[in-house]
Amino acid sequence: DVKVTQSSRYLVKRTGEKVFLECVQDMDHENMFWYRQDPGLGLRLIYFSYDVKMKEKGDIPEGYSVSREKKERFSLILESASTNQTSMYLCASSLSVPTTDIQYFGAGTRLSVL
């Protein structure tokens, strides 16, 4: 079974802090994704990566950056956390075609920015 592991289930940070959310997948998938999920807004794509060191902006990249130095690891970085970034963050991976392949999700990180 594919396993996508997010480093933290719950995280509390202060405004202005630099925040790292880590995601690791164990199935040699090409694509990795970061979403945020807010009530009434569904899942919104922040960034995705289709290869090591390659990244593409999603629908809401402002205030975020990503890093993919190794195939299995995809990090989401909040350079200076703000209260409006309080949300549930979901990482996902898929095999090869980002638009059509099944996505496998981690358990999510609930981030609170105070």
Instruction: Name the site residues for other proteins (rule: CB under 8 A).
Output: 4, 35, 40-43, 45, 48, 58, 88, 90, 92, 98-100, 102-108, 110
Amino acid (1-letter code) at residue 36: R
CB closer to other proteins out of 24 and 80: 24
Residue 29 beta carbon to other proteins: minimum distance, rounded to whole angstroms:
13
Residue 107 beta carbon to other proteins: minimum distance, rounded to whole angstroms:
5
CB closer to other proteins out of 8 and 104: 104
Amino acid (1-letter code) at residue 64: Y
Rounded to 5°, the CA angle 33-41-30 comes to: 10
Amino acid (1-letter code) at residue 95: L
Q: Are 12 and 112 in contact (CB under 8 A)?
A: yes
Residue 58 beta carbon to other proteins: minimum distance, rounded to whole angstroms:
7
Residues in the chain: 114
Q: How many CB atoms within 10 Å of residue 113?
A: 19
Residue 16 beta carbon to other proteins: minimum distance, rounded to whole angstroms:
27
CB closer to other proteins out of 69 and 102: 102
